[in-house]
């Protein structure tokens, strides 16, 4: 059930090549085998080049999925045909599986602006009445409140912990604190809370199908253009790696 996953390095970072990420991770969730899930994209790869702590966190994760179009492009250049696995969709699958497993598999929502995680959790509980919510905290906690959160996680040990703090903060926070609840499935969900809460929308299906979801995100958040400069840099490095 938990056999070693195939993986391929993307600029030194592992990407696991699974046919069914949902099933593999769902089995671990069911058996309460601890996992850190990283949703890798080109921007994160470029950040990891200058952030060793982030690179280490990715290396130690039990599952690194190809979330971004850039990662899929890199794999394709190296002859690896892999389907993109959007992190938001994997997180949604885990929520559905947790609800199906019942009240003994509670979920914790942590991150986002005040009120957003609560709205996201409420929206999911309306869709999935059997979903057990272990707790909800926004991402703007005081040091004292964050310490209280850590005590809660250690005491309650939720089965699934969704962390929406953005990259790289969420990956670093999970790597630092996952010992508090070692049997949990931890996944950084970025801005997914905003989408679940109805504050933002995902790209239309035709953009997602053509690996252009990043373009829609730039349309929604034009202030991200500086960060998006990592995409052409990544593409150039990917081509140079292949030629080398």
The domain locations on the chain are 7-196
Name the nearest CA neighbour of 111 among 186, 6, 11, 60: 186
40 dihedral zone (left: phi>0; alpha: psi -120 to 50; beta): beta
* pLDDT tens figures, 27-85: 999 999 999 999 999 999 999 999 999 999 999 999 999 999 999 999 999 999 999 99
Rounded to an integer, what distance in angstroms lies between the CA atom of residue 168 and that of residue 171?
Answer: 5
Half-sphere exposure of 95 (CA within 13 A, CB side): 26
pLDDT given at position 244: 73
Measured at the CA of 189, the angle between CA 150 and CA 11, to 5 degrees, comes to 110
User: What is the CATH architecture assignment of 7-196?
Assistant: 3-Layer(aba) Sandwich (3.40)
pLDDT digits (tens, 9 = 90+) for 192-223: 999 999 999 776 777 677 666 766 666 676 66
């Amino acid at each position: 059930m938990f056999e070693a996953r195939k993986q391929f390095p993307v600029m030194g970072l592992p990407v696991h090549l699974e046919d069914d990420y949902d099933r593999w991770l769902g089995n671990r969730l069911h058996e309460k085998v601890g996992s850190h899930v990283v949703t890798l994209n080109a921007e994160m790869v470029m950040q990891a080049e200058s952030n060793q702590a982030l690179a280490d966190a990715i290396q130690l994760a039990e599952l690194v999925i190809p979330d971004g179009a850039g990662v899929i492009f890199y794999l394709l250049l190296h002859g690896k045909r892999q389907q993109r696995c959007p992190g938001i969709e994997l997180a949604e699958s885990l929520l559905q599986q947790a609800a199906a497993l019942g009240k003994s598999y509670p979920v914790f929502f942590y991150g986002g602006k005040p009120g957003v995680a609560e709205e996201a959790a409420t929206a999911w509980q309306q869709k999935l009445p059997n979903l057990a919510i272990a707790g909800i905290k926004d991402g703007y906690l005081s040091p004292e409140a964050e310490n209280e959160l850590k005590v809660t996680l250690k005491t309650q040990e939720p089965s699934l912990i969704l962390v929406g703090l953005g990259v790289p903060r969420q990956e670093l926070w999970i790597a630092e604190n996952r010992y508090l609840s070692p049997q949990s499935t931890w996944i950084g969900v970025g801005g997914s809370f905003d989408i679940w809460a109805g504050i933002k929308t995902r790209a239309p299906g035709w953009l997602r199908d053509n690996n252009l979801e990043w373009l829609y995100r730039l349309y929604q958040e034009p202030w991200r253009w500086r960060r998006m400069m990592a995409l052409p840099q990544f593409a150039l490095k990917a081509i140079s790696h292949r030629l080398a």
